[in-house]
Amino acid sequence: MNKQRVSTGQAFRATLQRDLLIAYKRKNDMVNPFMFFLIVASLFPIGISPDSERLAEIAAGVLWISALLASLLAMDNLYRADYEDGSLEQLLLSPHPLYFMVLAKNIAHWLVSGLPVVLISPLIAYMLNLPSESYMTLFVTLLLGTPVFSLLGSIGVALTVGLGSRGLILAVITLPMSVPVLIAGTLAIEQTSNGASLGGYLAILGAMLVASISLAPLASGAALRISVN
């Protein structure tokens, strides 16, 4: 039994390392979500108002919406290459629990597309005139929320992996599931500006993350079996 547990851990690490290596070789997979987040957040002041007070009011929503759209942009790459080269079928035939293999791919996806967005967010917040006391809240909430975007998006990608054109369908599936995370993250930042307690919002985001880690890989694995078979 211990041997099986060790071999599953090795398969988990190998899947994670493989996806990170592939993403490193495909620079566009790493750069595109980051640049998209930067461009979208930068365009809001031009389209709405350059007034600093007005920007401060909308900064939280702008940053979260930009993070969600950047995550959605990167979603299509999660299983597409594996499906096209046949390695996804090999993953499904693996003797190791599919939950851990899917979780490894989701972690790699977030490290490539989500973590850079989280790291750059304070700089964009400064550009949007977000109050300085909200920077840490922004960072923590995005750190909790962006993995949820990746995990929930994985379900939509798994359901549509066999379709030729799936962009709109993927958005229709993923966006409604992501709205609660978007609302909780935005309200947490706004409450910081008003001096309110953040414990409730952080607990909600933490619960969403735990629930997503527990359930989303299972749902993604079931969807992959349906889509590929």
Give the lowest-confidence range in 46-50, 96-100, 199-203. Answer: 46-50
Mean pLDDT on 108-120: 89
Altogether, the residues listed in the chain come to a count of 229
Spell out the residues 6+ positions from residue 3 whose beta carbon is closer than 8 angstroms to its own: none
pLDDT of 1 reads 42
The pLDDT tens digits for 163-203 are 766 667 777 888 888 899 999 998 888 887 776 677 788 89
pLDDT of 205 reads 92
190 φ, ψ (degrees, to nearest 5): -65, -40
pLDDT of 3 reads 45
Question: 209 pLDDT band (50/70/90 cuts)?
Answer: very high
Quote the CA–CA distance of 158 and 174 in Å, as a whole number: 11
Mean pLDDT on 58-63: 87
Gyration radius of the chain's alpha carbons: 18
Give the pTM: 0.86
Backbone φ/ψ region at 97: left (φ over 0), alpha (ψ -120 to 50), beta: beta
Which residue, among 102, 122, 18, 34, has the nearest Cα to 74 in the 3D structure? 34
| Per-residue CA distances from 210 to 15, 24, 94, 229 (Å) | 21, 28, 26, 29
Three-state SS at 202: helix
Mean pLDDT on 198-227: 89
pLDDT of 2 reads 46
Residue 29: in which H helix or E strand, if any? helix 27-47
Backbone φ/ψ region at 195: left (φ over 0), alpha (ψ -120 to 50), beta: left
Mean residue pLDDT of the chain comes to 83
